[in-house]
Amino acid sequence: MTLRRFSGRLAGQGLLCAILLLPAFGRAADPPKDTKWPTERTTAPDDVEELKALQERVKKVVDKCTPSTVGLIVTVGFTQGAGSGVIVSEDGLVLTAAHVITGEDPTGKPTPYEPGREIDIVLHDGKKVKAKTLGVNSDIDSGMVQITDKGPNDGKWPFLPVGKSADLKEGQWVVSLGHPGGPKTGRPPVARLGRVVNNTKDIVRTNCTLVGGDSGGPLFDLDGNVVGIHSRIGLTLNTNIHVPTEQFKAQWDKLVAGEVFGKVAKKQGAPPFLGVVFPEDEEDDAWITDEVETDTPAGKAGLKAGDTITKFDGNSVKSVKQFRELIQKKKAGDVVKLTVRRGTAMMTLSVTLGKK
């Protein structure tokens, strides 16, 4: 559901609420419903009571999960990077993304990664503690860190359970926590609500809004279980990819032991940016659902709301998923030719991809 549609729905629900709260003339108003939000529900709220129930459920998740959500400050050579993570054991084991802790040299090239690097962990209240890096799998972007300082509760750390990402359903509501832009003084981890767009054994895709600094942060189901780790931003800020917790579980002992898998990759550069909004359904046609801003690459090329992209550099595009796969092979600055259907007319437009 796009922000515009969701906002419209909320506006409509607000009007519905006003009507429902007005008692009929001459009789008392009905007592409020005792509404609870099922954590596995995959549909949107139908009325204001359900909206309040969802809000209350999300608040409980945020209150429960904030103390275990941390920031990471990683210094490699002359460069310093920031990311996020989550504590998943009482002895201070932290899950994060591989690219957060592997780092790169001043020229942008990946540095040879060795576990045991000392890093700083920023707690939710701003306090800093020491930690060391453990194993990584750069192919799936999973990484682990061990806090080396003692925890605040008789040496133990507040931690959260690792859930089953395989159980996530399309449309299920989830909560993202992290440090957008890196940890900020006086600001606890920031929460964002979204839904599962699709879920495979390799990735979880959601429409939770994420930005730089959120990488490595936790994705929670509405029971407060960690079900994913933020990996990379998709074509828009609300199309994001997370490492499923099942991928961590598959190599858990080896990551804890400091083993390194895959080719250690450099930090994710800015993905190629077109500036359009597609349907949330990955199997739907790649048609533009919202108005196109004039200062985006799409707007400058003449794309409009309602246009359907049918070819990308000569390759047929039959779904949103196919379009995403094709554009991810490009980089900012590349010029691509898009074949577009507008009503009954077909046209070809040249677009210079940008970056966020």
- The per-residue DSSP string of 168-228 comes to --TT-EEEEEE-TTS-BTTB-PEEEEEEEEEE-SS-EEE-----TT-TT-EEE-TTS-EEE
pLDDT (tens digit, 9 = 90+) per residue, 327-353?
988 888 899 999 999 999 999 999 999
Residues of the chain with pLDDT under 50: 1-32, 265-268
Residue 235: per-residue pLDDT: 66
- Non-local (6+) Cβ contacts of 254 within 8 A are 135, 261
Q: Which two tokens stand for residue 64?
A: 């429960």
Phi, psi of 212 (to 5 degrees): -55, 140
Q: What per-residue confidence (pLDDT) applies to 328?
A: 83
Give this prediction's pTM: 0.66
Question: What is the rounded CA–CA span in Å between residue 35 and residue 53?
Answer: 6
Q: Rounded distance, CA 123 to CA 185, Å?
A: 11
Residue 142 and residue 99 in contact, taking contact as beta carbons nearer than 8 Å: no
Residue 345, C-beta contacts closer than 8 angstroms, at least 6 positions apart: none
- Cα Rg of the chain, angstroms: 22
Q: Are 309 and 338 in contact (CB under 8 A)?
A: yes
DSSP 104: B
Which tokens sit at 220?
């929670």
Distance of CA 16 to the CA centre of its chain: 32
**Which pair of tokens denotes residue 172?**
């299920």
Tokens of 100: 């957060």
Residue 255: name the closest of 131, 96, 120, 130 by CA: 96
- Distance in angstroms (rounded) separating the CA atoms of residues 240 and 233: 5
Domains of the chain: 1-14+38-269 (2.40.10.120), 272-355 (2.30.42.10)
Q: How many CB atoms lie within 10 A of CB 198?
A: 16
CA distances from 42 to 38, 45, 107, 168, 196 (A): 9, 10, 45, 10, 9
